[in-house]
Amino acid sequence: MNSRKRFRTICLILFILYVIAIVYFLLLSDIYGRADGYADYRYNLVPFLEIKRFVHSAFNGGSIHYTDVVINLVGNVAAFIPFGALIRWVRNQKTGFFVAVLYTFLFSLGIELIQLVTRVGVFDVDDLILNTCGGAIGYLCYRILRAIDRRRYENAEKKS
C-alpha cells in the first residue's frame, strides 16, 4: 500500500471515529441531560441570540458561568474543526472551501434536526453557525498544512 493510500485510510478511520464520538456526545451522552430528553420541543431560530446571551453574561457578571460560555461557544467551533480538516480525504476527491463548508453545515443540520425530533437537545441556529465556522477553520488548517507539505517536498526535490 502506498503512503497516500495509507494516509487516506488513516483519515477515513479517524473520520469514522470522530463522527461516532460527535453523535454519542451530542445525542446519547448523559452530559447535559441528553439521556432524559425534554418533554417538549426546544429550539432557537434567531441567529446570534444565544451567542449574544452567552457573551453578555460572561462579560457582565450574568448567571452563566464562564466555563459554560467557553464550552458552548468555543466547544461548538472546536468540535467541528476535524470535520472540515478530514472531509477532503473522506470524499477522496478535490474539495474546495465552499463544498467543505456545505458538508459541515449539512452534517451539523442533521445533528440539530435529530436533537429536535428526539428531544434530546435544542435545535439552535447559533450551533449551526458555530459548527460551520469550525468546519471552515478545519478546512483552512488542512489547506495550510497541505501548502507547507508541498513546499517542503519541492525544497527536498530541489536539493536532490
Distance from C-alpha of 116 to C-alpha of 132, rounded to nearest angstrom = 18
Given pLDDT bands bounded at 50, 70 and 90, which one contains residue 4?
A: confident
Distance from C-alpha of 99 to C-alpha of 148, rounded to nearest angstrom = 22
Given pLDDT bands bounded at 50, 70 and 90, which one contains residue 70?
A: confident
Question: Residue type at 98?
Answer: F
Does residue 33 have a pLDDT over 80? no
What's the pLDDT score for residue 71?
A: 86
What's the pLDDT score for residue 30?
A: 79
Given pLDDT bands bounded at 50, 70 and 90, which one contains residue 34?
A: low
The answer to whether the predicted template modeling score (pTM) of the entire model surpasses 0.75 is yes
What's the pLDDT score for residue 49?
A: 94
Three-state helix/strand/coil letters over the chain: CCHHHHHHHHHHHHHHHHHHHHHHHHHHCCHHHCCCCCCCCCEECCCCHHHHHHHHHHHCCCCCCHHHHHHHHHHHHHCCHHHHHHHHHHHCCCCCHHHHHHHHHHHHHHHHHHHHHHCCCCEEHHHHHHHHHHHHHHHHHHHHHHHHHHHHHHHHHHHC
Given pLDDT bands bounded at 50, 70 and 90, which one contains residue 36?
A: low
What's the pLDDT score for residue 101?
A: 98
pLDDT digits (tens, 9 = 90+) for 86-140: 999 899 889 999 999 999 999 999 999 999 999 888 899 999 999 999 999 999 9
- Residue ranges making up the domain that contains 83: 3-159
Q: Please report how the helices 3-23 and 81-91 are oriented relative to each other, as an axis angle in degrees rounded to 10.
A: 130
Instruction: Report how many domains make up the chain.
Output: 1
Which one is predicted more confidently, 123 or 66? 123
